[in-house]
């Protein structure tokens, strides 16, 4: 049961719910209620904060619950046992009629939002098919309320806005340099060498005798090495990094923003050849000029916006998993690999664990929302390489623009730079 009982509710919550049920006999449907709070049951066994379903046909009666003026959805937390699937069906006021809705869970603890239009007081039943664990349920008046609750539970890893203190000039500021290097034209048959340019952020106090982690930060389809604005003192990326480092929240690391076309051709196909330049030209040039260890994948990360997000998924995970271990995907472009392909790439290389996979997109992004959510929403059940500790998905109000992308960069920098930060203080 350890595998799928990984979200635990506190004993205090369980005790308070039991007390409320005993004293008032009516639950507040809008408060998270452990599944172990029930008045009748069949084929289930209480275990910790949830109930274990050991046979098909099991069910519980959660008792009477007050849905007030109306609930539009119910959020369930459950998981199937190993190599099983678990179906949870919701009934109200008896199990003779049709269920209000049903949810299917795989062998990992997840949440499921069950559509339900309910108001007033109803007797709530949950019926089960398959084996697994049912942990809790909670009604919400609107989808926004459910989103806020979900974000509140994972508020630690990321923020929904960049605090003002990180986007102002910092006295302990790093520097930005322009890197000129030679790269092969992977769009041509002869792959002749030509000169390319990139911008490099060096943290305050940069010491060539030391060794730093490296982030390759990629641009969008219409951009260049300058699209992230990392060209001078007014760079927002620079201000964010300077302040995070000065405040001791992340360890110093180096960033390079290259031109993401893998050759001299202006055709969009050049973006899909960039993995060759990464391996053969850009990373060796970075190692030649700066104190980075490109041989250690745990010290190398890749991230990007839009088309650069596609490159992070399709090329970083798909072709360079031996080079990078952390990935930041900001509003991934429509040609981004979906969850099935991403999982297949990860599953082919269990010896190459993922340190972090962070995905952000604006909910009003007509360009990328479908591809970004398609890459992320169904990924966890498909691979053992990812779990709640190294895979984070964030949806925020916003479109296909830098308001989302700078927030994505800020959160990703905190995620990868904050790891082991105590070791460098």
Whether residue 5 has pLDDT greater than 90: no
Query: Confidence class of residue 45 from pLDDT cuts 50, 70 and 90?
Result: confident
Q: Minimum mean pLDDT among 7-16, 157-166, 360-369: which range?
A: 7-16
Residues 247 and 354 in one domain: yes
Q: 15 vs 10, 77, 247, 371, CA distance in Å?
A: 9, 19, 41, 43
Residues 201 and 85 in one domain: no
- Residue 157 is predicted with a pLDDT of 66
* Dihedrals phi, psi of 88, to nearest 5 degrees: -115, 125
Using a pLDDT cut of 90, give the percent of the chain over it. Answer: 69
Compute how many other C-beta atoms are within 10 angstroms of the C-beta atom of residue 262: 24
Q: What is the pLDDT of residues 92-149, one digit of tens each?
A: 999 998 898 888 887 654 556 667 788 999 999 999 998 888 888 999 998 778 767 7
Beta strands, E only, 191-258? 193-202, 213-218, 253-258
**By the 8 A CB rule, do 190 and 263 touch?**
no
Mean pLDDT rounded to a whole number for the chain: 88
**By the 8 A CB rule, do 304 and 217 touch?**
yes
Q: Which two tokens stand for residue 208?
A: 């060539």
Of the residues 153, 172, 199, the one at which a domain ends: 153
- Residue 346 is predicted with a pLDDT of 97
Q: What is the pLDDT of residues 206-237, one digit of tens each?
A: 999 999 999 999 999 999 999 999 999 999 99
Question: Which CATH number do you get for residue 28?
Answer: 2.60.120.260
Using a pLDDT cut of 70, give the percent of the chain over it. Answer: 87
Of the residues 117, 133, 153, the one at which a domain ends: 153
**By the 8 A CB rule, do 308 and 336 touch?**
no
* Dist CA 201 CA 307 (whole Å): 22
Whether residue 294 has pLDDT greater than 90: yes
Q: How many domains does the chain have?
A: 2
Residues 201 and 81 in one domain: no
Whether residue 76 has pLDDT greater than 70: yes
Query: Confidence class of residue 390 from pLDDT cuts 50, 70 and 90?
Result: very high
**By the 8 A CB rule, do 265 and 224 touch?**
no
- For 93-145, give the DSSP string: S-SSS--SEEEEE-SS-EEEEEEEEE-SEEEEEEEEESSEEEEEEEEESSHHH
Of the residues 103, 133, 153, the one at which a domain ends: 153
The residues pairing with 197 across neighbouring beta strands, listed in sequence order, are 180
Residues 15 and 81 in one domain: yes
- Residue 224 is predicted with a pLDDT of 96
* Dist CA 273 CA 281 (whole Å): 12
In a domain, 6, yes or no: no
In a domain, 158, yes or no: no
pTM, 2 dp? 0.67
* Dist CA 114 CA 101 (whole Å): 6
Whether residue 15 has pLDDT greater than 70: no
Q: How many residues does the chain have?
A: 425
Name 64's Cβ contacts closer than 8 Å, sequence gap at least 6: 25, 26, 27, 121, 122, 123, 124
Strands of the sheet with 175-184, listed across from one edge: 175-184, 193-202, 253-258, 213-218, 300-305, 326-330, 356-362, 391-396
Residues 258 and 138 in one domain: no
- Residue 48 is predicted with a pLDDT of 65
Name 28's Cβ contacts closer than 8 Å, sequence gap at least 6: 20, 65, 66
375: containing domain: 164-424
Whether residue 292 has pLDDT greater than 80: yes
* Dihedrals phi, psi of 28, to nearest 5 degrees: -85, 110
In a domain, 308, yes or no: yes
Q: What is the pLDDT of residues 334-389, one digit of tens each?
A: 999 999 999 999 999 999 999 999 999 999 999 999 999 999 988 998 999 999 88
């Amino acid at each position: 049961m350890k595998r799928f009982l990984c979200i635990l509710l506190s004993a205090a919550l369980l005790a308070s719910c039991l007390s409320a049920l005993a004293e008032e006999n009516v639950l507040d449907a809008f408060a998270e209620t452990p599944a172990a709070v029930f008045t009748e049951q069949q084929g289930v066994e209480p275990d910790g904060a949830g109930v274990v379903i050991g046979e098909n046909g099991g069910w519980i009666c959660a008792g009477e619950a007050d849905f007030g003026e109306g609930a539009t959805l119910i959020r369930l937390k459950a998981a199937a046992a190993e190599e099983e699937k678990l179906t949870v069906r919701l009934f109200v006021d008896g199990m003779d009629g049709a269920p209000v809705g049903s949810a299917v869970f795989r062998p990992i603890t997840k949440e499921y939002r069950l559509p339900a239009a309910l108001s007033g007081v109803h007797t709530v039943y949950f019926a089960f098919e398959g084996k697994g664990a049912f942990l809790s349920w909670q009604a919400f008046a609107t989808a926004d309320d459910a989103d806020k609750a979900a974000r509140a539970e994972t508020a630690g890893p990321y923020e929904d806005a960049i605090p003002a203190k990180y986007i102002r000039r910092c006295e302990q500021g790093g520097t930005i340099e322009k890197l000129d290097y030679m790269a092969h034209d992977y769009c041509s048959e002869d792959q002749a060498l030509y000169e390319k340019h990139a911008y490099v952020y060096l943290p305050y106090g940069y010491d060539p005798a030391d060794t730093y982690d490296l982030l390759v930060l990629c641009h969008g389809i219409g951009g260049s090495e300058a699209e992230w604005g990392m060209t001078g003192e007014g760079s927002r990326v620079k201000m964010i990094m300077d302040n995070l480092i000065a405040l001791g929240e992340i360890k110093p690391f180096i960033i390079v923003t290259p031109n993401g076309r893998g050759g001299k051709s202006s055709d969009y196909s050049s973006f899909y050849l960039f993995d060759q330049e990464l391996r053969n030209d850009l990373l060796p040039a970075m190692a030649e000029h700066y104190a980075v260890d490109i041989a250690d994948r745990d010290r190398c990360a890749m991230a990007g916006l839009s088309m650069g997000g596609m490159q992070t998924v399709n090329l970083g995970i798909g072709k360079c998993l031996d080079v990078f271990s952390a990935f930041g995907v900001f509003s991934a472009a429509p040609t981004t690999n979906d969850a099935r392909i991403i999982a297949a790439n990860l599953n082919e290389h269990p010896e190459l664990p993922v340190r972090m996979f962070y995905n952000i997109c604006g909910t009003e992004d007509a360009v990328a929302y479908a591809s970004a959510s398609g890459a992320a929403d169904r990924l966890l059940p498909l691979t053992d390489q990812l779990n709640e500790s190294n895979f984070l998905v964030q949806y925020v109000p916003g479109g296909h623009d830098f308001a989302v992308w700078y927030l994505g960069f800020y959160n990703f920098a905190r995620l990868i730079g904050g790891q082991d930060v105590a070791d460098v203080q």
